[in-house]
Chain A
Amino acid sequence: MRAAAEVAVAVDRLYRAESGRILASLIASIGDFQLAQDVLQEALTLALTRWAADGLPANPAAWVHTAARNRAIDQLRRGARFAEKSAAVATLERLRDEERREAEAVARDEVQTFPDERLRLIFTCCHPALSGPAQVALTLRALCGLQTEEIARAFLVPATTMAQRLVRAKAKIRQAGIPYRVPDADQLAERLDGVLGVIYLVFNEGYQASAGARLVRRDLCEEAIRLGRMLHHLMESTPEIGGLLALMLLHDARREGRADARGRLILLEQQDRATWDHAQIAEGKALVEAALRRGRVGPYQIQAAIAALHAGAARAEDTDWPQIAALYGLLGRVQPSPVIELNRAAAVAMAEGPDRGLALLDALQRGGELADYPWLPAAQADLLRRAGRTDEALAAYRRALALTQSEPEREYYRERICELGGGASG
Chain B
Amino acid sequence: MQYMCLIYADPTIAKSMTPAEMGAYMGGYRDFTESIKTSGAMIAGDALQGVETATSVRVRDGKTVVTDGPFAVTKEHLGGYYLIEAPDLDAATAIAARIPSAKHGTIEVRPVMVWDK
Contacts and interface: CB of A to CB of B under 8 A. Distances in A.
Interface string B1-33: 101000000000000000000000000000000
User: Which of the listed residues A129, A176, A177 has the most CB atoms from chain B within 10 Å of its own CB?
Assistant: A177
Given A129-B89, A183-B90, A187-B90, A177 B116 contact: no
Contact of B89 (A85, A178, A184): A178
B107 interface: no
Contact of A83 (B91, B92, B116): B116
Contacts of B34: none
Nearest to A173: B89
A296 B98 CA distance: 30
Interface string B97-114: 000000000000001001
A177 B117 contact: no
B5 to A, nearest CB: 13
Contacts of A178: 88-90
Contacts of B92: 177
Nearest to B93: A129
A84 B89 contact: no
A175 interface: yes
A158 interface: no
Q: Dominant SS at the A interface?
A: loop
Interface in B53-106: 86-94
Nearest to B1: A177
A133 interface: no
Interface residues of B, number: 15
Nearest to A84: B114
A85 B116 CA distance: 8
A322 interface: no
B88 A84 contact: no
A88 to B, nearest CB: 11
B89 A83 contact: no
User: Which of the listed residues B89, B90, B92, B116 has the most CB atoms from chain A within 10 Å of its own CB?
Assistant: B90
Given A183-B90, A187-B90, A175 B116 contact: no
A336 interface: no
Nearest to A128: B93
Categorize the interface residue count of chain A: 10 to 19
B117 A85 contact: yes
A177 B114 contact: no
Interface string A166-192: 000000000111110001100100000
A179 B1 CA distance: 12
A175 B86 CA distance: 13
B106 to A, nearest CB: 14
A129 B3 CA distance: 14
Given A83-B116, A84-B116, A84-B117, A175 B90 contact: no
Contacts of B114: 83-84
B18 to A, nearest CB: 33
A303 B38 CA distance: 47
Contacts of B89: 127, 129, 176-179
A262 B93 CA distance: 51
Nearest to B92: A177
Given A83-B116, A84-B116, A84-B117, A175 B88 contact: no
Contacts of A187: 90, 94
B90 to A, nearest CB: 5
A179 B89 CA distance: 7
Contacts of B91: 179
Nearest to B110: A176
A129 B109 CA distance: 10
B88 to A, nearest CB: 4
A178 B90 CA distance: 7
Contact of A179 (B3, B88, B111, B116): B88
A184 B114 CA distance: 27
Nearest to A187: B90
Nearest to A184: B90
Contacts of B117: 84-85
Nearest to A86: B117
Interface of A: 83-85, 127, 129, 175-179, 183-184, 187
30 contacts: A83-B114, A83-B116, A84-B114, A84-B116, A85-B116, A85-B117, A127-B89, A129-B89, A129-B93, A175-B111, A176-B89, A176-B111, A177-B1, A177-B3, A177-B86, A177-B87, A177-B88, A177-B89, A177-B92, A177-B111, A178-B89, A178-B90, A179-B87, A179-B88, A179-B89, A179-B90, A179-B91, A183-B90, A184-B90, A187-B90
Given A83-B116, A176-B89, A179-B88, 12 more contacts: A84-B116, A85-B117, A175-B111, A176-B111, A177-B3, A177-B86, A177-B89, A177-B111, A179-B87, A179-B91, A184-B90, A187-B94
Closest 6 CB pairs of A and B: A179-B88, A177-B88, A177-B1, A177-B89, A178-B89, A176-B111
